[in-house]
Copies of this chain bind each other. A is one copy, B any other.
Amino acid sequence: MINETMYALGSKRSTIREIFEYAKTRAAEIGKENVFDFSIGNPSVPAPAAVNETIEKLLEEIPSVSLHGYTSAQGGKDVRDTIANNFTRRFGVALSGDDLYMTCGAAASLTITLKALTNEGDEFITFAPFFPEYRVFVENAGAKFVVLRSDEKTMLPDFDALERAITPKTKGVLVNTPNNPSGVVYGEKTMQKLADLLAKKSKEYGAPIYLISDEPYRELVYDKETKVPCPMAYYNETVICYSYSKSLSLAGERVGYIAVNPKATEAKALYAAVCGAGRALGYVCAPALFQRVAAACDGMTADISVYKKNRDLLYNGLTKCGFTCIYPDGAFYLFMKAAERDAAAFCERAKKYELLLVNGADFGAEGWVRVAYCVETELIERALPLFEKLAKDYGL
């Protein structure tokens, strides 16, 4: 009688959530310090001090009725102008506050954008490995979700496969860089190649193919030479879905934005459709206080040196054990090849050492596992000898 699809979505826990619950139970049995939970992508470092300082200042300076009252549906004008100016300065792409729509985080940015774009029969393409909720969001918008494999050595898009997969039904391509779960960043060459192919195909079919760029990890990169190119600088038909969840360690506060490239063919209409979709989905406005916090702290990051330290420690430790790992340029995940064909069995084996990993199959990549390193550094230090034992079990 109720909606069966929604029931299924709500009653079936995600694997990540299963492991998270298992970790809690196991911690009660053997002590929290003996469980090595690498499953969850929850920021492990505090928000920058400026976040709480900004909140205190706002509470003091802004009258309650303005501070906690409705903002415009698309977000406060000052907030949008500030963020747009920063964007232009940081990425060299002209953006105004009127191209920005403030949201309740990345998931909202995506559901709203997909809803704004989708007509019956449309398809969105993404590359495995991908964040599992993409399937939920795309299908809920009424579109077909098309998954392509990446090059297994680099976890970068296979452009030949992409060229073959694009049809007149392709409404957009959804990318996530730095990537969850692989940590890989699309460099300038990759972005240019993607842009060229989408431009060619758009022209061929006489309709824009949108590039939807999900960028919650944009600021989380660790090497000087790693640049995260702004897709709008390469391709006009771009919508950026951003969130402050990871950069400012504000995952629970739900604040982010959608940026519609003003150079997109239908920029104005698309922005209006974004406003309409936000309205239809019940997003009245993004949380008012945290809109102001986001504007004040835009471009800052939490202390990501911790993630860098963790990344280096984990990547070096695991490769030394003999595991095959994708070098993670950014985000806070490491993608590792399972030491046997069946990654689920490998995860079970790891569990014997209290190492909790996530099966890559959930991300569309069979034979791999995700190791989230947004944890205490000390946990990684103590886990490495256990990973070594695991490697030895497989004769690595």
Binding site for B on A (CB under 8 A): 1-11, 42-47, 51-52, 55-56, 59, 63-65, 67-71, 104-105, 107-112, 115-119, 133, 136-137, 140, 207-208, 249-254, 266, 269-290
Which residue among A4, A107, A254 has the maximum number of chain B CB atoms within 10 Å of its CB? A254
- Other-chain contact of A252, B251, B252, B287 (Cβ < 8 Å): B287
Q: Are B1 and A266 in contact (CB under 8 A)?
A: yes
* A277–B111 CB distance below 8 A: no
Chain B's nearest CB lies how many Å from the CB of A1? Answer: 6
Are B118 and A3 in contact, CB atoms less than 8 angstroms apart? yes
Contact call A47/B68, Cβ cutoff below 8 A: yes
**Chain B residues within 8 Å of A285, by CB:** 252, 254
Q: Could you show 13 A-B contacts with beta carbons less than 8 Å apart?
A: A1-B207, A3-B117, A3-B119, A3-B277, A7-B272, A7-B273, A10-B272, A11-B275, A56-B59, A68-B253, A107-B283, A107-B284, A254-B288
Give the most central of A45, A109, A208, A279: most B CB within 10 Å.
A279
How far is it, in angstroms, between the C-alpha of A137 and the C-alpha of B278 when the chains are bound? 11
Cα of A4 to Cα of B272 in the assembled complex, Å: 10
Tell me the bound Cα distance from A68 to B105 in angstroms.
13
**Which B residue sits closest to A63, measured CB to CB?**
B46
Residue of B nearest to A254 (CB): B287
CB distance from A279 to the nearest CB of B (A): 5
For the residues of A in contact with B, the DSSP-based class is helix
Q: Is the CB of A253 within 8 A of B287?
A: yes
User: What residues on B are CB-neighbors of A7 within 8 Å?
Assistant: 116, 269, 272-273, 276
Say yes or no: A116-B276 contact (C-beta < 8 A), given A64-B46, A111-B281, A285-B254: no
* Cβ contacts under 8 Å, A115 to chain B: 3, 6
Instruction: Write the chain B residue with the least CB distance to A279.
Output: B9
Among A109, A136, A207, the one with the most B-chain Cβ atoms within 10 Å of its Cβ is A136
With a cutoff of 8 Å between Cβ atoms, the chain B residues found around residue A46 in the complex are: 63-65
Q: Determine which of B6, B68, B70 lies in contact with A116 in the assembled complex, contact meaning CB atoms within 8 Å.
A: B6
- In the complex, the answer to whether B2 meets A273 with C-beta atoms within 8 Å is yes
Which of B6, B287, B288 contacts A277, CB < 8 Å? B6
Q: Which of B2, B105, B207 contacts A284 (CB 8 A)?
A: B105
User: Is the CB–CB distance between A289 and B253 below 8 Å?
Assistant: yes
Chain B nearest CB: distance from A143 CB in Å?
10
Contact B107 A273 (CB under 8 A): no
Chain B residue with minimal CB distance to A40? Answer: B70
Q: How far is the CA of A3 from the CA of B270 in the complex (A)?
A: 9
Chain B residue contacts of A286, Cβ below 8 A:
254
Q: How far is the CA of A4 from the CA of B120 in the complex (A)?
A: 11
| Interface pair B43/A69, CB less than 8 Å apart | yes
A276: chain B residues within 8 A (beta carbon): 3, 5-11
